[in-house]
């Protein structure tokens, strides 16, 4: 475990570490969707796009490893065997890693259009 701890109830701290992990593995089009006022399911959705199945796997494993270093474990990971859409459930933070086709089809941002949505500028492809 890392010497500096993250409060597992602090969604924003977890989200920052998730975004950093995504950027480390070159995820694109990262969006942070603040849904705490709209649902009791989670506080924050984080969505990103990967260019390939190996990249989706790398992003997923890097997030899992980095959060695990702080003692934070997912309660569930769905879609890891197919890698088209991986959902990682950390209770207060839910992570969605999509390939481009699934990202366009499911359009998660549209589903949460009433939420505050923040685009991570470093993840926008030029």
Q: What's the CATH number where 114 sits?
A: 3.30.460.10
pLDDT of residue 3 exceeding 70: no
The C-alpha atoms of residue 115 and residue 54 are separated, in whole angstroms, by: 31
Domain that holds residue 73: 11-118
pLDDT at 126: 54
pLDDT of residue 2 exceeding 60: no
Least confident segment among 3-7, 111-115, 118-122: 3-7
What's the pLDDT tens digit per position in 35-94?
A: 999 999 999 999 999 999 999 999 999 999 999 999 999 999 999 999 999 999 999 999
What's the pLDDT tens digit per position in 77-115?
A: 999 999 999 999 999 999 999 999 999 999 999 999 999
pLDDT at 67: 96
Provide the whole-model pTM: 0.91
pLDDT at 75: 97
Q: Determine contact, residues 27/123, Cβ cutoff 8 Å.
A: yes
In a domain, 15, yes or no: yes
Strand ranges, E, within the chain: 28-34, 44-50, 76-78, 85-89, 93-99, 116-119
What DSSP character marks residue 65?
Answer: H
What DSSP character marks residue 31?
Answer: E
In a domain, 74, yes or no: yes
- Say how many domains are in the chain: 1
In a domain, 63, yes or no: yes
């Amino acid at each position: 475990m890392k010497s500096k701890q993250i409060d597992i109830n602090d969604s924003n701290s977890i989200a920052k570490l998730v975004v950093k992990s995504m950027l480390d593995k070159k995820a694109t089009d990262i969006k942070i969707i603040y849904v705490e006022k709209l649902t009791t399911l989670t506080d924050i959705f984080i969505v990103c796009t990967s260019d390939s199945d190996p990249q989706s796997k790398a992003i997923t494993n890097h997030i899992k490893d980095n959060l695990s270093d702080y003692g934070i474990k997912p309660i569930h990971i769905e879609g890891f065997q197919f890698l088209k859409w991986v959902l990682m459930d950390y209770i207060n933070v839910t992570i969605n890693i999509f390939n481009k086709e699934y990202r366009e089809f499911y359009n998660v941002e549209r589903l949460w259009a009433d939420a505050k949505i923040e685009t991570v500028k470093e993840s926008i492809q030029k």
